[in-house]
Homo-oligomer: A and B are copies of this chain.
Amino acid sequence: MISFESDYIAGAHPELLKRLAETNYEVLPGYGTDHYSESAKEMIKKVLEMPEAEVEFLAGGTQANAVIISSMLADYEGVVSAATGHISAHEAGAIEYTGHEVLQLPQKDGKISACDLERFIAEFEDDPNHEHMTFPGMVYISWPTEYGTLYTKMELEEISCICRERNLPLFIDGARLGYGLMSRACDITLPEFARLCDVFYIGGTKVGALCGEAVVFTHGNRPKHFMTSVKRRGALLAKGRLIGIQFDTLFTDGLYMSISAHAIDAAEELKDIFRKAGIPFFVNSPTNQQFVILENDRMERLKEKVAFSFWEKYDDTHTVVRFATSWSTRQEDLDILRQAIAEIYGSSEA
């Protein structure tokens, strides 16, 4: 059955597998000290136009979030996040496991507002009892968000500005960064993006790699002895080449961007299918994740032909579901979906 369940339903982009095979017998040192990892880091820094950046590789998103946050926060600090932020809701307490609190802000379509952030910090600072409270020590946002939405350049600038005034590092979870950058709604370049944050990562797992996220510290702020902190969190791969070679390939000849663009094209076609069938969107997402509201009985019928993800109950007769595209989405998948929806929703215009 064809599937839009997530952006990690297939293996890796074939170019990555090919490079893994080609380099397989090369003798390389362990723990990410190999020359492919070095080359990948250099290429990323070049794309970022940021020679001073420090790049480190980790295996997955939750791991990256926990390692970054716990190694950057002071003892008495927590991380500010949207209530729907991945670290708040869907990481099984991975941040708390490291001893730190996630301080939740209200959100709209997965985004926090600069205004709410500023008020939250001001209220903390003004509270005469704030020494009995967790200090906000970092701001976490996702780009794209968990609902596929994007902060605009201006919104990012406002949040970044508040963070810099308060000396709060801004950390952007870019598990799906490529899909944001290639979105038609994107109004920021990667170098501009990088300059607004203190640390972020370029997601690999969801953008064509078997595993791997490239963490970027933007201004010499990589925690001291970071490799040891990674090791003691069980996050250091002996064969660091596995991630290094993949990112080296993703950042050769613009592969990362081109496969992201492919997924965005597919997502646009997806939106067109829903739009034409009159299926309402739960949120207006310009990236590879699309959230729509289905009537439960039609949802059940659709499920027999196409796989997608349950997201949340909408009301007693409707459900919010997610369709995701990725590098591996084929035209054929979209065609089958269009056909299936036409059958279930009437020939609206098949």
Contact = CB atoms under 8 A, between A and B. Distances in A.
A62 interface: yes
Contact of A9 (B6, B28, B78): B28
Given A78-B93, A131-B228, 4 more contacts: A10-B26, A11-B21, A76-B225, A210-B242
B96 A128 contact: no
Contacts of A64: 234
B91 A96 contact: no
A224 B74 contact: yes
Nearest to A205: B238
Chain A interface mostly: loop
Interface residues of A, number: 86
A61 B11 contact: no
Contacts of A89: 133
Interface of A: 1-3, 5-6, 8-12, 14, 17, 20-21, 23-30, 59-67, 70-71, 74-76, 78, 89-94, 96-102, 104, 126-129, 131-135, 205-206, 210-211, 223-225, 227-229, 231-239, 241-242, 307, 310, 312-313, 328
A93 B24 contact: no
Contact of A93 (B227, B232, B241): B232
A110 B67 CA distance: 32
Contacts of A227: 131
Among A11, A92, A224, max chain B CB count under 10 A is at A92
B25 A328 contact: yes
Nearest to A104: B104
Given A133-B90, A232-B93, A232-B94, A27 B9 contact: yes
A2 B26 CA distance: 10
Contact of A11 (B3, B23, B71, B78): B23
A177 to B, nearest CB: 15
A238 B312 CA distance: 20
Among A74, A89, A227, A239, max chain B CB count under 10 A is at A239
A54 to B, nearest CB: 16
A104 to B, nearest CB: 7
A314 B340 CA distance: 55
Contact of A131 (B76, B126, B231, B313): B231
Nearest to A99: B97
A218 to B, nearest CB: 20
**Nearest 3 CB-CB pairs, A to B?**
A63-B234, A11-B24, A76-B228
Nearest to A64: B234
A25 B330 CA distance: 11
24 contacts: A5-B27, A5-B29, A9-B27, A9-B30, A10-B24, A11-B239, A14-B21, A17-B21, A17-B24, A60-B237, A60-B238, A61-B238, A71-B75, A76-B92, A76-B93, A91-B231, A92-B131, A92-B134, A94-B231, A94-B234, A96-B96, A126-B313, A131-B231, A135-B225
B17 A3 contact: no
Nearest to A83: B104
Contact of A92 (B98, B102, B232): B232
Given A9-B30, A23-B11, A93 B238 contact: no
